[in-house]
Structure 1
Amino acid sequence: MALELEHECPNCGEEKTFYRAASTTLHLGEKVKWHCPDCDYGFVRIGDNGTAVDSSTA
């Protein structure tokens, strides 16, 4: 269970270390909310890394 994630922040325009804001288990897998520490941007990932649904790519 990672508490940090390196990810591109579209608001900041650069790679940031996002923090894990919340998580819960669904029938599709684990749902994790990630937030940028420098702005209000956040996204959700559901499932494991290989088959994850990622709202940041929508």
Structure 2
Amino acid sequence: MSLEMERDCPECDSNEFWKTAYMEIHLGKKTKWRCSDCGFGFIQIDGDIRTA
């Protein structure tokens, strides 16, 4: 699994996110991502559910 992801940040012009945490939960794999420039973060669960 990669430690970085390319995705447009809604807060700034960056498109680089870094994985800050990962764990297995009853819904699937929970991954926290954080923008490398502004610190905007979101949670992704099992690749489908996003909090952003």
TM-score normalised by length of structure 2: 0.88
Gaps of 5+ in 2: none
- Residues 1-58 of structure 1 aligned to structure 2 (within 5 Å): 1-12=1-12, 14-47=13-46, 49=47, 52-56=48-52
One-letter identity of the residue aligned with 1:23: Y
CA RMSD of superposed structures (Å): 1.1
Cα separation, 1, equivalents of 2:39 and 2:2: 20
Percent of paired sites with the same residue: 40
Q: Calculate the TM-score normalised by the size of structure 1.
A: 0.80
> Residues of 2 paired with 1:8 and 1:55: CA distance?
15
Count of aligned residue pairs for this structure pair: 52
SS across alignment from 2:11: coil
